[in-house]
Amino acid sequence: MAAPTRAPMMEAALDQLCINTIRTLSMDAIQRADSGHPGTPMALAPVAYTLWQRVLRFDPDDPIWPNRDRFVLSNGHASMLLYSLLHLASVRAVNPKYETLGRLAVTLNDIETFRELGSKCPGHPEYRWTSGVETTTGPLGQGVATSVGMAIARQWMAHYFNRPGYPLFDYDVYALCGDGCLMEGISHEAASLAGHLKLSNLCWIYDNNHITIEGPTALASSDDVATRFISYGWNVTRVGDANDLELLSRAFEVFQNTGDRPTLIIVDSHIGYGAPHKQDTAAAHGEPLGEEEVRAVKRFYGWPEDAHFLVPDGVREWFAAGIGARGKALRNAWFALVERYRADYPDLADHLTRMQHRELPEGWDHDLPTFPADPTGIASRDASAEVLNTIAKNVPWLIGGAADLAPSTKTRLTFAGAGDFEAGSYAGRNVHFGIREHAMAAILNGLALCKVRPYGAGFLIFTDYARGAIRLSALMEIPVIFIWTHDSISLGQDGPTHQPIEQLASFRAMPGMLVIRPCDANEVVEAWRTIMPLKRQPAMLVLSRQALPTLDRATYAPAAGLAKGAYVLADPPSGDPDVILIGSGSEVALCVAAYEQLIAEGIAARVVSMPSWELFEAQDRTYRDAVLPPAITARVAVEEASTFGWAHYVGAEGTILGMTTFGSSAPLAALQQKFGFTADHIVAAAKAQVMRVRGKA
């Protein structure tokens, strides 16, 4: 790539000027914020610069071009490294409607207000908030694990969309990480799966600087990282000096020429200047260097000591001549290719457009089943299996799997042609994540970020092993579908280690997460009908292992009420109710049985099915008051889970029949008797509520 005509500067001098600009912008921003991590941006500036300027296929004018290479800064505390690159490369902002805006994604003012309210440069990179940030990173290990999902997405999309002469998807995924990421267990899970799947489009760049916050890595780790990754089936190469741009370029070429496995590039660096220095300790501990040390560093770089946030002449132009020109040419060629593709493969082109905009095919739900009334019923996990397979046939980019529990969660796609996603056979839509709940959830995030629609499954109790990545699904507002089964103590004899208690309450407390616990097979259908159109919200279906009666919807209200989160399932034959029974999931059938007893005894009762608190709270006050009239304070909520949060719906004097302890190992009937989940117990609680209210009258 020819340099811009700003001579007599040589290319090497321009490279170094750009690298030092990244370093000094990072230092200045962190110093002004009096907060942040200066060491890694300073040490890894040559690595990130080489990747962006010489290798990365990325158009700063269109940072959401679908076939762009992905760059993930997994060690998100080094965020100023990425923000400096985004600014110097003149990456443009993109709004949620996929319209590229004229302004910069990161302005110099954003850098000057690093970590301040409203800045596009928060402490850790945040997807949606800052264009050019491919995924939210911060919790260590999340970025590298998410990058595996991005790599899987490319392999699947290439097999679905690519045709002879039309290589629509061939992007690579690069993730920059450090010791923190590689120590976290999620990276072990993700790296193991990536090696097993032979994801040759995946490259992790490991900053081997021998230091963490507490001190030398030798305090807590003696891993042989290279041997570890070789055992995973990765190609491992090494760059002995992070400042050697030619060796770095050669390492990236090795990755690009490796076609049968992912690549780990181990880069030896010194945190801070890029060379050993007394400031290494402060930099490693995530502290600003201090004004005097900043001046000393700038002297070391040959930088004006009193200059702040300086971008010298020629820097932006050099980036524009490198990544800017290369990215624009590649992006324009890709869209020209798509136009020709649209003429030759109109149906696939339509799918591509819909997938990229998170839209569904026409008629995606036209053949969803309706389940007949059945007192014996069907487990909601089994009903979900039928619905999932019906939808997946209509939505080709719906792919996923389970953490080795597909036979139990009923999440395997079984229709003809579904297939398995395996090494060397990337067309399949059943992904086998293995017993790796945390990596599974992060990989789902990576798939969703590339616009594939992913689902993942497991037992509800094991969400504790995946919570960090699940939380990022909500934080990033991406439409991942989680399917959690074995939803209550009613799973029985596996006992309290497998019986979820507090999990429902914790996910209901998570901002942006849609939790749906359907009461029967037809509510399952409506749950899927509700979550599939979501574009900016993750959702979880919480399903039963045991059979649930399929309610007679000619007698009780239609299951379509699920879309509003809660609805009146049954009312007294006449007049207002004396007491309201509220339940979710399997406990709704118990409420219905109690309702029948109460009506037979002349007590006016209402049953409210409440599968989703979040959907209910999204309704207007008129609707919510119609379902739960404020004047009716005699209320009983029933759920085989923690009682936490139910007081909001039953009031200070209502009754909550739930769990305040862990469960027990016993058959279902014995558990229901022990913990009071019976129709008789609900009837008794309802009568007590009615007496309480009448006593005050």
pLDDT of amino acid 96: 74
**Using CA atoms, how far apart are residues 199 and 152, in angstroms rounded to an integer?**
7
DSSP letter string over 157-201? HHHHH-BTTB------EEEEE-HHHHHSHHHHHHHHHHHHHT-TT
Query: Could you tell me whether strands 374-379 and 547-550 are parallel, antiparallel, or unpaired per DSSP bridges?
Result: antiparallel
HSE, side-chain direction, 13 A CA sphere, residue 111: 28
Q: Find residue 266's DSSP bridge partners.
A: 206, 238
**Using CA atoms, how far apart are residues 693 and 696, in angstroms rounded to an integer?**
5
Q: How confident is the model at residue 178 (pLDDT cuts 50, 70, 90)?
A: very high
Q: Which fold has domain 11-332?
A: Rossmann fold (3.40.50)
pLDDT of amino acid 282: 45
Span 247-263, mean pLDDT? Answer: 98
CATH classification number, 562-696, choose in 1.10.357.10, 3.40.50.920, 3.40.430.10, 3.40.640.10 = 3.40.50.920
The domains spanning 11-332 and 562-696 adopt the same CATH topology: yes
Q: What is the pTM of this model?
A: 0.96
pLDDT of amino acid 99: 77
How many helices (H) does the chain have, and how many strands (E)?
Answer: 26, 23
CA angle, residues 188, 44, 81, in degrees to nearest 5:
95
CA dihedral 629, 631, 636, 642 (to 10 degrees): 70
Set 437, 614, 639, 640: catalytic member? 437
pLDDT of amino acid 278: 42
Q: How is domain 374-549 classified at the architecture level of CATH?
A: 3-Layer(aba) Sandwich (3.40)
Span 114-140, mean pLDDT? Answer: 96
Enumerate the domain spans of the chain: 11-332, 374-549, 562-696
Annotated active-site residue 291? The verdict is no
CB neighbourhood size of 359 (10 A) = 13
Give tens-digit pLDDT for 199-216. 999 999 999 998 888 889
Residue 318 clears pLDDT 80, i.e. is over it: yes
Give tens-digit pLDDT for 465-519. 999 999 999 999 999 999 999 999 999 899 999 999 999 999 999 999 999 999 9
Average pLDDT of the chain is 95
Residue 276 clears pLDDT 50, i.e. is over it: no
**Using CA atoms, how far apart are residues 550 and 520, in angstroms rounded to an integer?**
5
DSSP letter string over 369-401? --PPPEEEEEEHHHHHHHHHHHHHHH-TTEEEE
Q: Say which DSSP state 660 is in.
A: S
